[in-house]
Each structure stands twice: as C-alpha cells, then as structure tokens.
Amino acid sequence: MHSSNGAISMKFMSLSLAAVAAAALVAGCAGAERSRNLGDPRVSGATLAQQVCSNCHGLSGNSVSPNFPNLAAQTQPYLAAQLAAFRNPGRSDPAGYQYMWGLSRHLTDEQIEGLAAHFSSQKPVPRPAEGDASRLPSGKAIFEGGIEDKGVPACNT
Ligand code: HEC
C-alpha cells in the first residue's frame, strides 16, 4: 500500500543516511589520524601546525602556557632554523630535547618551511606585563644593558 511503502522507504532512507553519516565519521577520524602523523611527509606543515603543534603552542601560535614559547610572528627563517636544529638534533637544551626532538625527527624540509610560514604569519596577542609595574624600568635596563658587576649580558644581544 501507498502509505506503508512510504513508511518503508522513509525508514530505508533514514537508515542509509545514518550509514552515510557513520561512514563520514569514520573517514573523518581516519583523516584526522593521518593528519596528525608526524612521520607522513604528505601531511602539509599548515595541517601539522593545526593538528599537532597547536596542542602546546596554541592554534595561532599564541601559547596558553608559559611552558611553551609563542611562535606567532617569529620570523620564518628563525622558526625554520630552530626546527632544523631540533631535528638534527643541534639544539639540546633540556626542554628542547624533551619536547621537540621527537616531534621534529621526521619532518621534511618542505614541512619545516610550511610550519615556519604558518606560524610566522600569525598575529601575536599582546599581553599585559605581569608583576610589579614599578620594576619595568630596571627590567628594561637589564634587557638593554645587562648587569655589568654580575657579568649578566644584555638580553637583546
Ligand atoms: C608537547 C608540547 C609541544 C608540542 C606538541 C610542540 N612543541 Fe614546540 N616546543 C615545546 C617546548 C617545551 C619548547 C621549548 C623548548 C626549549 O626551550 O628548547 C618548544 C619550542 C619550539 C620552537 C622554538 C621556539 C623558540 O622561540 O626558539 C619551535 C620553532 C617549535 N617549538 C615549533 C613546534 C612545531 C612546528 C610543532 C609541531 C610540529 C611543535 N613545536 C610542537 C613544546 C611543544
């Protein structure tokens, strides 16, 4: 009968829609899994930036934790050089060793260029200075001139 046929085809349709949705979900997950694979040279630097690096350095390269450096708007040559140094591995300070060596081990030159391009083109989010504002001038003096009697070099060198 017309009405029951209609009901059946409606049911069939919603079942196949569910199947399509499930397939899309599975494909989506597999895609996300692939796009997080640091060992796959086909994944672009921009994708890795969003899928992997963002966990620590923030989606826009503005880190939410002081443990992770901001990458936003650092220059492309600087970022590329640091990534190459972690990969070599030449940059061996403890945090670099602990976090970045493994992450950069399989990056290709092309991925490094893509990652550096991505983060260098992000906008840095200005943040208010923390602590006692009256100490800013002495901090500035140390940044620019160091502390001579203690052998502390100027930060900006
Ligand atoms: C699990 C956290 C974590 C993830 C994920 C991560 N990083 Fe890092 N990254 C760090 C830490 C910690 C440092 C600071 C290392 C140090 O002090 O040498 C760092 C340092 C860096 C630096 C040097 C910054 C500077 O100012 O010299 C670059 C560039 C960098 N990461 C890029 C990346 C890229 C690109 C990815 C993704 C492929 C990534 N990181 C993923 C934790 C992480």
**Hey, whose CA ends up nearest to atom 30 of ligand 1?**
83
Residues with Cβ within 8 Å of 64's Cβ and at least 6 positions away in sequence, in order, are 58
How does pLDDT run across 95-143, given as a tens digit for each residue?
999 999 999 999 999 999 999 999 999 999 988 777 898 999 999 999 9
CA of 46 to the centre of ligand 1 (A): 15
**Hey, whose CA ends up nearest to atom 6 of ligand 1?**
53
**Hey, whose CA ends up nearest to atom 26 of ligand 1?**
69
How does pLDDT run across 38-83, given as a tens digit for each residue?
999 999 999 999 999 999 999 999 998 989 999 999 999 999 999 9
CA of 67 to the centre of ligand 1 (A): 10
Query: Where does the pLDDT of residue 3 fall: very low under 50, low under 70, confident under 90, or very high at 90 and above?
Result: very low
Average pLDDT, the chain: 85
**Residues 80 and 45 sit within 8 Å (Cβ to Cβ):** no
> What's the pLDDT at 1?
46
**Distance separating alpha carbons of residues 144 and 97, to the nearest angstrom:** 29
pLDDT at 90 over 80: yes
**Distance separating alpha carbons of residues 139 and 145, to the nearest angstrom:** 10
